[in-house]
Amino acid sequence: MTRRQRLVVGVLLAALILPLGLLLSHRVRGRVKAFAVRVVDKLSREKRRRQLPPEEPPLQGLSASQVGYGPAMRKSFTSPRPFQSFVVEDATSGAVVWRGGAASRGVPTDLLGSVRTVWLGDFSPLHAPGRYRLRADNGLTSRPFPIGAQVFDAPLRAVQRWFYYQRAFTAVEQPFSEGPWIHPSDAAKAPPGVEGGWHDAGDFSIYNNSLNEAVFWLLLAAADFHPRDDDMHLPESRNGVPDLLDEARWGLKWLLSVQAKDGGFPNSTCQQSYGAYGTNTPQGVPPYHAGEVGTLATARGVGTLAFAAWAFREVDPAFSRRCLEAARRGMQFLDLRPTENSDGPSCPIARRDGDAEVGRQVRLYAAAGMALATDERRFHEAFAELYTEPRYDLPMLHLDGHASLIYLHVADADPRTRARILAPLERLAAEARRDGATHPFGTAMRYWWGSLGGAFTRAAMFSAPRCLADPDRAVDDCEQAVASLHYAFGRNSLRFCYVSGIPGVERGASGGFNHWLAALDAHPRNFPGIVAGGPNIYPDQADRSYPHARPRPVWGYWADPAMPRDGDRPVDARYTDNDSWCTNEPTVGWQSEAVYVLQMARWLAARRPSPGASR
C-alpha cells in the first residue's frame, strides 16, 4: 500500500468511526473521537515530515573537512570513485588555484555499503589562505572549505562555550547566551548546598564519572597548550584567568560543594523523573536527588581536585589550596577503606559497585593526581604499584590512560616510571596510525555509541603525547590526532559536520536529543558547538519515532519518514540529525575531548614546522 493510500484509508476510517460514535454513550463517543483525531493527526504529522527536503544520500561527492586546514597541515580528501586528476578552485570565483594528479591510493572498506573501495587525493602543498572547493575529473566536487592559521578558532570557541549553556543551578542569560537559548536559574532545584557542575547530556543529571572526566580534559588542555583566551563571552571573562580554567572551575565547584563531612564524594546529583519530551526545562523539573558517597566516586574526585590544585597554583593560589585540601580529605576517606569498591544506587546508568578493576584504576588516578600536586613519596609508590597499561579500546569508567597523562606532568618523575608509561602510549599511537591508514576517511574510530568521542579519545590519549613531545618528527601522530576533527567536520560519507552552528559550514548538525532545547523550541533550535555522538553500528531498537507524541512528535533513529533507515544502511552513515539519542546526543565526556583536540589543532595550525619537517 502506498503512503497516499494509507492516508486515504486513515481518513475514511475516521469518517466511518465518527458517525458510529453518535450512537454510543457520550463517554465512549469522546474516546472514539479522540482516537480518530489521533489517527488523523499522526498521519498528518508523518505526511508533513515526508514533505521536508530529502537528505543527501551518502557518498554523493568528495569528502573533506568543511572547517578547513592549517596552512602547513596535511590536506587529504576521499572520493567514492577513482579519478585521474583534480583541481582546487577558489570557492567564489571558480578560478583554479592548484592542480593535482591521480589518486594517491585506494582504500578497501566494508563501511560504505556497495562502495568497496575509496580513492584518496592530497593537496598538502597548497598553503595560501583562502576559501576553496575541490573538483575531480570524475565529476564530483567537495563542499567549500578554508585554509588559514585561524580556521580552528571559531569551532574551538563554539565547542568550549557549549559548557556555558550546560551549566547547572544557574541562569543562562543574555548577553552571554548570544541568542535565544536562555532559561532562569534552576538553583532552587539543587539539594541543599549543591552548586556548579554541568547537565551531563541531553538530560539534566550530573554524574560524578563524566564530570570528572570532563574536568580532566579541560585541565589537560590548559596544561598542554597554555591558552590565554579570556574573551569567550562568559560571565567570568576578562577576569585575568583563561576562560578554559574558568569553565573547569565551574565543574570543580560542584565537586567541592558535594563533598561529605567524612571526605567522601557522591556518585551524582540526579534528576530521577522527566515529563513528556518537549515539556522539561531546567527550572521546571522536580528537585534533584543527592547521590550516595562511595569509594569509586571519591577516588575520581581526589584525582581531579589534585590535578586542579596543580593547574591553578599560579593563576589562583587560594583556589589551588582549597582543591588540595579537599583532595587530602578525600584521600583520608580512601585510606580508611583500602579494599572497598563502593558505588551508590542512585541513577545507576554507570554504577560499578564492587568492581575491583574499576576500583584499582580510579585509585591509580587519585595517586597520579596527588603525586603531581604534592610530590609526596607515598603517592609515587602507590602509582607505581597500581599502574596498569591503558587499552586501545578504553572501557567506560577506566581511568588508567588519564592517570598516565597526569603523571607525565610530574617534573621529576622517576625515568623508569616515565619510560614504563610512554612505551604503551607509543605502541597505541602506532595502532592509531595503522587504523587511520586503513579507514576510508583517515580517522581511528570504532562505530559504537559515541563513535566521535572514541576517535577523540585515541587522538588525545595516544597520538597527542608523541606529537607534543616532538611535532616535527612525529608529524604522522599530529596528523592522526587532527584526522578525528577532519572526520567530524565533514570528511565522512555524509559530507556532514557533526557539530552545530560552526560559521561557514554548508551542511551541519541542526537536531539532537536535548530535553531543554526540545522544550525551548528556539530558532535556530541549537546553540553553536554541540558535538553529536556520531554513527552507531548498532542503533538501539528503542530509539524510535513517535509521531503522535504530545506536545511534539519525537523523531528517533528508526521510523522517521524524513530520514528512513534500515539494517542495510552503510555503517558510516548510521546517524540521523533528529531526536535520536543513540546517534545524536551530546555528553560532557566527548565534548571535553573535542575541546582538547581543537586546542591541539589550533596550536598546530598556527605553528610553522621546522625546515625539513615532512608532512
User: Are 190 and 86 in the same domain?
Assistant: no
**DSSP code for 351:** -
Q: Using DSSP bridges, classify how beta strands 145-147 and 96-100 pair: parallel, antiparallel or unpaired.
A: unpaired
Residue bearing cell 578525528: 484
Domain boundary among 101, 117, 147: 147
Residue that is last in its domain, among 94, 113, 147: 147
Element (H, E) at 89: strand 86-90
Judge whether 69 lies within some domain: no
* DSSP string of 398-439, one letter each residue: --HHHHHHHHTT-TT--HHHHHHHHHHHHHHHHHHHHHHHHS
Q: Which residue, 80, 104, 191, 50, is CA-closest to 563? A: 50
Residues 225 and 310 reside in one and the same domain? yes
Is 583 inside any structural domain? no
Spatial separation of the C-alpha atoms in residues 557 and 567, rounded to whole Å:
12
Does 182 share its domain with 135? no
Residues 124 and 244 occupy one common structural domain: no
Say whether both 263 and 142 belong to one domain: no
Residue 249 counted as domain residue: yes
CATH classification of the domain holding 139: 2.60.40.10
**Pair (429, 294) in one structural domain:** yes
Nearest to residue 78, comparing CAs of 339, 504, 442, 472?
Answer: 442
The per-residue pLDDT for 24 is 46
Residues 369 and 432 placed together within one structural domain of the fold: yes
Strand runs (DSSP E) across 12-79, as ranges?
76-79
- In the Cβ-directed half-sphere of 65, how many Cα atoms lie within 13 Å? 27
Pair (42, 176) in one structural domain: no
Sign, CA dihedral 261-267-271-273, equals: negative
The answer as to whether 507 is a domain residue is no
Q: How far is CA 256 from the centre of its chain?
A: 25
Same domain, 419 and 484: yes
Query: Whole-angstrom Cα distance, residue 333 to residue 262?
Result: 7
Instruction: Find the CATH number of the domain harbouring 455.
Output: 1.50.10.10
So what's the pLDDT on residue 396?
Answer: 81
Residue with cell string 523523573 = 273
Domain limits at 350?
153-495+589-606
Question: Quick one: pLDDT at residue 469?
Answer: 95
Whether 282 maps to a domain, the answer reads yes
Among the three residues 147, 162, 190, which one is the final residue of a domain in this structure?
A: 147
Asked if residue 279 belongs to a domain, the reply is yes
* Number of structural domains the chain divides into: 3
Same domain, yes or no: 313 and 432: yes
Question: Three-state SS across 226-268?
Answer: CCCCCCCCCCCCCCCCCHHHHHHHHHHHHHHHHCCCCCCEECE
Give residue 4's pLDDT: 55
177 to 167, 223, 592: CA distances (angstroms): 12, 27, 19
183/172 Cα distance (integer angstroms)? 5
Residue 58 lies in a domain: no
Predicted confidence at residue 1, as pLDDT, reads: 55
Q: Which three cell numbers stand for residue 477?
A: 601522530
Nearest-angstrom CA–CA distance, 546 and 42:
9
Q: Examine the domain organization and report whether 162 and 140 are in the same domain.
A: no
- Asked, for residue 60, whether it belongs to a domain, the answer is no
Please give the torsion angle defined by the CA atoms of residues 360, 365, 366 and 371, in that order, rounded to the nearest 10 degrees: 120
- From first CA to last CA, the distance across the chain in angstroms is 57
Low-confidence ranges of the chain (pLDDT < 50): 7-9, 11, 13, 20, 22-24, 36-37, 42
Q: Are residues 279 and 189 in the same domain?
A: yes
